[in-house]
């Protein structure tokens, strides 16, 4: 046990001396998480608000004067154009409105997601809707009918999800993804340095010549990777929770404006878990860390150099995307208990369920037991790799 | 102190060591001489339990390399030319790290570090520098200090002067003689004949995994009419 701690301490000391690694694994997550979470929302929110408040040019062809007035009221400036489609394509105008044969056609650049043009199209649609309501109301009045006939009943939608799920918001999706990503990304530099790095630098032979059983060398290195993985993950979660709070205070007005605007954005969320929930997240994350660390060390040992190790380990990040897709569409599936035995997928599903407060004891036990079994298998393979002379002296 | 009997090592189709036997006594420096790829490093790695022999046997300090690897490592130090130590650690931290595997702590560790530093002419102030800030020669001295910190009965040096400047090389050769003078058993593997001539008591010529000559330095010199290099070439040509 003592040797394991001595080796882990040495690995961590090497990391502490490498400021670049310290910055990318511990400092960067704290700084980058609030930016990742709130930056796009603020940016898009501000842009959307400005689009609502400012006046944009809209090309018009054959539009009646009364509709032109409605457009002006909706803060757009109608301009006669010869070819509306071309004018939009060339960005001479943000959108265009054509009236022919009793039909309004709106042109906009809609194929590339959230564009300013799409927001202006919404403004034009709103103006037309307002005009249409006005015309319908006038015609009903002319026939002596009240406008309440248009709304014979009201519709109200209420969120029936659990309190934790409502509070979590985007976190139900982001927490599993970030936990899994940062466990891998935080441990990777140490895993590479402790394995392929030692081989490339010529330090491994001296260590293996010391009177320490191989399994202890392996566990010592694994412990160092584990510590860095968890520290990096805590940094990311701290960045998400604390940084999110700071962001909310600093940009309270802007965020409120985005929330109140027509284009409502979901502003992250908050974890509303009891202590058992937090404990369940910790257990799941720790077990997953054991699995991913054993895989990283096994691959790192096999590599001859830093570069080769990175080329083996980088695809792991892509592998993480597979369960992420699963998680994204999990709501459309009827979750079976055996899904919680699928490697990686189980951890994502379990974490998401814990954050939503929907995890069952069976699901958690299957996740933990299977992840522990996969971790033990990966550790055994790493140990076998370490015993192989053709792997250890492969340089 | 070292007993090697018909030691062999094969890698699938390649037989790197084809059955060599030799023994080295305490206080003796045994020169394992051979061209690149002759099997010197493989032999020493087997003695250090880094590689497992595929045939024969070897005992180091009375312990079998296959059955008692941890005991062998406790009584052995190994240095090779490509061996490095952790460059982000200070010299002291490196020695502290390796010393702790041999139960060297506190005052005992300090005493051993001072002993090794004196033997290898390492200024104590250098030990507080990170290894990456040291010269190549000084880094090699730290590698050697790591290997002798526990005062092993057996020390294996494999091309240990590779890349060293003339001063560092001289210090190392002086150290070899001094360490043997303490009653320790040394194997000095090199392809530089002048070094072997200076420090070795007995030599073995190894080529293509076979020991083609073994005898005292005097016997080897006689074989080459007073020149070890000539003896080496002559014996290898006869064996070919």
Could you read off the pLDDT of B33-81 as tens digits, one per residue?
A: 998 889 999 999 999 999 999 999 999 999 999 999 999 999 999 998 8
- What is the average pLDDT across B106-133? 92
| Same domain assignment for residues A38 and A103 | no
Give the per-residue pLDDT at A32: 79
A244-248 contacts at long range (C-beta below 8 A, 24 or more positions apart): A244/A33, A244/A34, A244/A37, A244/A38, A244/A268, A246/A34, A247/A34, A247/A37, A247/A38, A248/A38
Cβ of A10 within 8 Å of Cβ of B97? The answer is yes
Query: From the CA atom positions of chain A, what is the Rg in Å?
Result: 29
pLDDT above 90 coverage of chain B, percent: 75
**Would you say how long chain B is, in residues?**
240
* Of residues A132 and A159, more confidently modeled: A132
DSSP code string of B53-98? -SEEEEEETTEETTT-HHHHHHTEEEEETT----TTSBHHHHHHHH
pLDDT tens per residue, range A45-64: 677 777 777 888 999 999 99
Based on the fold, state whether residues A75 and A216 are members of the same structural domain.
no
Whether A64 and A40 map to the same domain: the answer is: no
Contacting residues of B for A212, CB less than 8 Å apart: 101
Of all residues in chain B, the percent with pLDDT exceeding 70 is 100
Whether the predicted pLDDT of A394 surpasses 90: no
Among chain A residues, CA nearest to B148: A210
Per-residue pLDDT at A276 exceeds 70: yes
Query: Which of B60, B63, B71, B84 to probe the A interface (max A CBs under 10 A)?
Result: B84
Most confident among A180-194, A250-264, B100-114 (mean pLDDT): B100-114
More confident residue, A327 or A377: A377
Indicate the burial class of B146 (C-beta count within 10 angstroms; 0-12, 13-18, 19 or more).
Answer: buried
- Residue A213 covered by a domain: yes
- The region of weakest confidence among A77-91, A103-117, A350-364 is A103-117
Distance, in Å, from the CA atom of A61 to the CA atom of A372, rounded to the nearest integer, reads 67
Give whichever of A45-54, A265-274, B221-230 has the largest mean pLDDT: B221-230
pLDDT at B169 > cutoff 90: no
Query: What are phi and psi for residue A293, nearest 5 degrees?
Result: -70, -45
Domain containing A296: what range? 3-46+164-393
Task: State whether A128 and A227 are in the same domain.
Answer: no
Q: Taking 60 as the threshold, does the pLDDT of residue B89 lie above it?
A: yes
The answer, yes or no, to whether residue A75 has pLDDT greater than 50, is: yes
Q: Which helix (H) or strand (E) holds A104?
A: strand A103-108
The proportion of chain A whose per-residue pLDDT surpasses 90, expressed as a percent, equals 38
Average model confidence (pLDDT) for chain A?
84
pTM for this prediction: 0.80
pLDDT in tens, B144-164: 999 999 999 999 999 988 877
Which residue from A10, A201, A211 is facing B74, i.e. has the nearest CB?
A211
| DSSP secondary structure letter of residue B10 | E
> Are both A85 and A22 inside the same structural domain?
no
Is A122 found in the same domain as A34? no
Closest Cβ opposite residue A209 in set B48, B84, B87: B48
* pLDDT at residue B51, rounded to an integer: 95
Identify whether A115 is part of a domain: yes
Residue A348 and residue A304 in one domain: yes
Q: How far is B82 from chain A (nearest CA, A)?
A: 6
The pLDDT of residue A395:
63
> Tokens 């993480």 label which residue?
A320
Segment A282-300, tens digit of pLDDT: 899 999 999 999 999 999 9
Question: Is position A149 within any domain?
Answer: no
If one compares A42 and A306, the residue with the highest pLDDT of the two is: A306
Complex prediction ipTM: 0.92
Contact B70 A213 (CB under 8 A): yes
**Confidence at residue A269, expressed as pLDDT on a 0 to 100 scale:** 54
Q: Does residue A12 fall inside a structural domain?
A: yes
Helices (H), chain B: 40-47, 69-74, 91-100, 106-119, 136-148, 166-181, 193-199, 217-223, 228-239
CA pair distance A248, B123, nearest whole angstrom: 57
Closest to A120 in 3D by CA, of A152, A139, A81, A92 = A92
Distance CA A167, CA A290 (A): 30
Chain A partners of B83 at a C-beta cutoff of 8 Å? 202-203, 205-206
* pLDDT for residue A221: 95
Residue A173 within a domain = yes
Q: For strand B210-216 and strand B202-207, is the pairing parallel, antiparallel, or unpaired?
A: antiparallel
Contact A206 B83 (CB under 8 A): yes
Give the C-alpha distances (Å, rounded to integers) separating B153 from A356, A361, B72, B77, B183. 63, 59, 10, 8, 8
Last residue of a domain, one of A112, A143, A174: A143
Residue A273 backbone dihedrals phi, psi, to 5 degrees: -110, 155
The strand pairing partners of B64, in sequence order, are B59
pLDDT at A262: 45
Residues A280, A207: one domain?
A: yes
Asked which of A255-259, B27-31, B106-110 is least confident by mean pLDDT, the reply is: A255-259
The answer to whether the CB atoms of B146 and A206 lie below 8 A apart is yes
Domain count, chain A: 2
Q: Does the structure show a pLDDT above 90 at A370?
A: yes
Is residue A86 located within the same domain as residue A176?
no
B101: nearest CB among A205, A212, A393: A212
Q: How far is CA A4 from CA A153, A217, A358, B150, in A?
A: 71, 6, 38, 20
- All residues at 6 or more sequence positions from A257 whose CB lies less than 8 Å from its CB, including other chains: A45, A46, A49
Q: Tell me the C-alpha distance between A179 and A288, whole Å.
A: 10
pLDDT for residue A147: 80
Give, in degrees to the nearest 5, the angle at Cα B134 between B133 and B138.
Answer: 165
Same domain, A26 and A103: no
In the predicted structure, residue A226 carries a pLDDT above the cut 60: yes
- A291: in domain: yes
Distance, CA of B83 to CA of A362 (rounded, Å): 52
- A317 and A374 fall within a common domain: yes
Q: Whole-angstrom Cα distance, residue A27 to residue A16?
A: 13
B153 close to B75: Cβ distance less than 8 angstroms: yes
User: Which of residues A143, A178, A199 is at a domain's end?
Assistant: A143
User: A182 by DSSP, 3-state: which?
Assistant: helix
pLDDT in tens, A102-144: 899 999 988 766 678 888 999 999 999 999 988 998 999 899 8
CA-CA distance, A128 to A122, in Å (whole number)? 10
* Separation in Å, CA of A228 to nearest CA in chain B: 17
Q: In B, what residues contact A, Cβ < 8 A? A: 11, 48-52, 70-71, 73-74, 76-78, 80, 82-89, 93, 97-98, 100-102, 130, 143, 146-147
Task: Classify residue A102 as exposed, middle or buried by CB count within 10 Å of its CB (0-12, 13-18, 19+).
Answer: exposed
What domains are defined for chain B? 2-75+155-239 (3.40.50.300), 85-151 (no CATH)
A30, A244 contact by CB (below 8 A): no
pLDDT of A265 reads 43
Distance from CA of A181 to the nearest CA of B (A): 28
**A153 domain-assigned:** no
B97, A6: Cβ pair inside 8 Å?
yes
The answer to whether the CB atoms of B89 and A212 lie below 8 A apart is no
User: Is the predicted pLDDT of residue B216 greater than 70, yes or no?
Assistant: yes
Choose, out of B10, B13, B52, B83, the residue to mutate when testing the contact with A (most A CBs < 10 Å).
B83
- Inter-chain contact B82–A202, Cβ cutoff 8 Å? yes
Residue A254 pLDDT > 70, yes or no?
Answer: no
CA distance A394 to chain B (A): 13
The domain that holds A75 is classified in CATH as 3.40.190
A319, part of any domain: yes
Give the range with max mean pLDDT: A6-10, A110-114, A234-238, A307-311. A6-10
Kindly state whether residues A330 and A288 are assigned to the same domain: yes
Residue A264 predicted with pLDDT over 80: no
Beta strands A103-108 and A95-100: pairing type? antiparallel
């Amino acid at each position: 046990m003592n040797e394991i701690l001595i080796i882990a301490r040495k690995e961590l000391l090497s990391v502490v001396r490498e400021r670049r690694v310290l910055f990318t694994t511990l400092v960067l997550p704290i700084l980058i998480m609030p930016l990742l979470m709130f930056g796009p929302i603020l940016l898009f929110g501000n842009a959307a608000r400005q689009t609502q408040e400012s006046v944009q040019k809209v090309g018009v062809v054959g539009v009646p004067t009364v509709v032109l007035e409605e457009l002006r009221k909706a803060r757009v400036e109608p301009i006669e154009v010869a070819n509306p489609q071309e004018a939009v394509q060339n960005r001479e105008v943000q959108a265009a409105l054509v009236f022919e044969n009793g039909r309004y056609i709106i042109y906009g650049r809609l194929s590339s997601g959230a564009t300013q043009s799409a927001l202006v199209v919404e403004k034009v649609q709103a103006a037309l809707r307002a005009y249409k309501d006005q015309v319908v109301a006038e015609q009903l009045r002319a026939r002596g009918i009240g406008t309440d006939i248009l709304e014979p009943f009201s519709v109200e939608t209420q969120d029936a999800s659990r309190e934790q799920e409502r509070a979590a918001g985007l976190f139900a999706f982001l927490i599993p993804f970030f936990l899994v990503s940062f466990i891998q990304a935080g441990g990777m530099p140490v895993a590479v340095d402790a394995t392929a790095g030692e081989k490339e630098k010529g330090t491994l032979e001296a260590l293996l010549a010391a009177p320490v059983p191989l399994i202890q060398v392996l566990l010592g290195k694994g412990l160092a990777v584990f510590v860095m993985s968890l520290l990096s993950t805590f940094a990311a979660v701290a960045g998400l929770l604390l940084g999110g709070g700071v962001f909310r205070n600093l940009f309270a007005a802007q965020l409120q404006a985005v929330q109140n605007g027509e284009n409502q954005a979901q502003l992250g969320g908050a974890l509303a878990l009891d202590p058992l929930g937090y404990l369940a997240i910790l257990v799941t994350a720790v077990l997953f860390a054991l699995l991913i660390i054993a895989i990283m060390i096994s691959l790192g040992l096999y590599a001859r150099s830093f570069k080769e190790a990175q080329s083996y380990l980088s695809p792991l990040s892509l592998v993480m995307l597979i369960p992420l897709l699963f998680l994204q569409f999990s709501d459309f599936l009827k979750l079976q208990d055996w899904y919680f035995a699928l490697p990686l997928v189980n951890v994502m599903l379990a974490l998401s369920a814990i954050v939503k407060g929907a995890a069952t004891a069976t699901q958690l036990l299957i996740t933990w037991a299977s992840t522990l079994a996969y971790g033990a298998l990966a550790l055994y393979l790493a140990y076998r790799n370490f015993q192989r002379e053709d792997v250890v002296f492969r340089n | 102190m070292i007993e090697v009997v018909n030691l062999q090592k094969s890698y699938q189709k390649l037989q790197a060591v084809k059955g060599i036997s030799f023994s080295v006594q305490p206080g003796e420096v045994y020169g394992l001489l051979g061209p690149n790829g002759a099997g010197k490093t493989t032999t020493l790695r087997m003695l250090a339990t880094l590689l497992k022999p595929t045939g024969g046997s070897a005992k180091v300090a009375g312990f079998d390399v296959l059955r008692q690897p941890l005991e062998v490592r406790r009584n052995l130090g190994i240095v090779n030319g490509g061996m490095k130590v952790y460059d982000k650690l200070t010299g002291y931290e490196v020695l502290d790290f390796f010393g702790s595997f041999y139960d060297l702590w506190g005052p005992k560790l300090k005493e051993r570090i001072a002993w090794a530093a004196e033997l290898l002419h390492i200024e104590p102030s250098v030990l507080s520098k990170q290894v990456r800030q040291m010269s190549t020669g000084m880094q090699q001295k730290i590698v050697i200090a790591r290997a002798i910190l526990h005062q092993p009965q057996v020390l294996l040096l494999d091309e240990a002067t590779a890349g060293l400047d003339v001063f560092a090389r001289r210090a190392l050769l002086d150290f070899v003689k001094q360490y043997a003078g303490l009653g320790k058993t040394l194997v000095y593997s090199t392809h530089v004949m002048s070094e072997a001539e200076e420090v070795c008591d007995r030599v073995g010529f190894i080529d293509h995994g076979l020991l083609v000559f073994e005898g005292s330095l005097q016997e080897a010199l006689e074989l080459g009419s007073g020149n070890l290099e000539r003896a080496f070439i002559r014996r290898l040509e006869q064996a070919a």
